[in-house]
Amino acid sequence: MLYKDQIGDEVEIKEQPKRIVSLVPSQTELLFDLGLDDRVIGITKFCVHPEEWFRSKNRIGGTKDVDIDAVKSLNPDLIIGNKEENTLKDIKALRKIAPVWISNVNDLERSIKMIESIGEVCNVSPKASEISKQIIDNFNFLDSDIKGKSVLYFIWKKPYMVAAKDTFIDSILTNQLGLKNVMSDEKRYPNIELTDVKNSPDYVFLSSEPYPFKEKHKEEISEIFPNAKVVLVDGEYFSWYGSRLIKAPAYFKELCEKL
C-alpha cells in the first residue's frame, strides 16, 4: 500500500510493519504511547523517553549520524524519520534498506497530522486519534497570560543560537502562547551575537535542550538583557512534537504563572 509522507514522497509498505526503527526522539515516545513496544526494534541514542526503551532497545547511532550498518543488521520493515532532525545522506542510504517515512513538522497542526499518519501506517489509527484528541482538547483549554510579550528563545551556546520563524518552537511561542518572537525576521536557527539583538525582549527562555542551559547561564544573559526576565525552560515541551504534547499545555500554564 502507498502512503504519502510529510515531504510529499510516496512510501510503499506492503504489510503491517513489525520491525520499526525510529530516528527521532519525540516520535519514538509517540510509538511507545501508540502501544508498539513489541514492534519497535531500534532507536537513537537520544531517544531517552520512555526510559525502559532507552535501556533495552537497540541503539542505531544519533539523529544526525545514523549507524547505517546497525540499522541494516536489524532487518527493519519500516524506518521513521524527520526532515529536520535527520540528514539527507542518511535517509538516502536507509531507503536502500527499508521504506522510510519522513515527517516535516513546524506547527501544532502538522504534528497532529503526523501522529494520525503514523497511526495509519502502523495500523493503530484509533489510538493515534485518541492521542490527537487529547492534545487538541488540552491546548484548547490553554489560556496564556503572557500574550503580547516579547521573547528570545535560546537553543545553543558557543555560538549562541536561537529559534526563529519556520520552526516548531516559534509556532508554540507565537501561536499557542501568543508571544512575539524578537527574531521573527530571521529563519530557522540563526547564530547571533548577544549585542546584536536590537529589541530587548520581555522574556529570555534558555532551553534545556539541545544545549543544557543551567542557572549559571542566566547570570550571563541577564547582564546583556537587564530588563528581561531570564528563565530556564523545558525544551522537550517546546520542541517535541509527538505525544509529549498531551502534557505540554499544563507545563505552559505553570510557566505563565511563574512569569
Whether the CB-CB separation of 161 and 188 falls below 8 Å is answered with no
Residue 199's pLDDT is: 76
Which DSSP string corresponds to the chain?
Answer: -EEE-TTS-EEE--S---SEEE--HHHHHHHHHTT-TTTEEEE-TT--SSHHHHHHSEE-B-SSSB-HHHHHHT--SEEEEETTTS-HHHHHHHTTTS-EEEE--SSHHHHHHHHHHHHHHTT-HHHHHHHHHHHHHHHHT---S-TT-EEEEEEETTTEEE--BSSHHHHIIIIIS--EETTTTSBSS-EE-GGG--S--SEEEEESSSS---HHHHHHHHHH-TTSEEEEE-HHHHH--SGGGGTHHHHHHHHHHH-
pLDDT at 112: 98
* Model pLDDT for residues 37-66, shown as the tens digit of each residue: 999 999 999 999 999 999 999 999 999 999
Domain edges within the chain: 2-139, 150-258
pLDDT at 182: 94
Q: What is the pLDDT of residues 102-130, one digit of tens each?
A: 999 999 999 999 999 999 999 999 999 99
pLDDT less than 70: residues of the chain: none
Q: Which CATH number does the domain 2-139 belong to among 3.40.50.300, 3.40.50.10190, 3.20.80.10, 3.40.50.1980? A: 3.40.50.1980
- Count other Cβ atoms within 10 Å, centred on residue 51: 8
Listed in sequence order, the residues at least 6 apart from 120 whose beta carbon sits closer than 8 Å to its beta carbon are: 3, 128
Cβ neighbours for 56, distance < 8 A, ≥ 6 positions apart: none
Indicate the fold that domain 150-258 takes in CATH: Rossmann fold (3.40.50)
Q: Do domains 2-139 and 150-258 have the same CATH topology?
A: yes
Q: Which pLDDT belongs to residue 153?
A: 98
Residues 6+ apart with CB under 8 A from 22: 28, 31, 40, 42, 43, 44, 47, 79, 80
Q: Determine the Cα–Cα distance for residues 109 and 251; give it in Å rounded to an integer.
A: 19
Helices 125-140 and 25-33 cross at an angle (nearest 10°) of 110
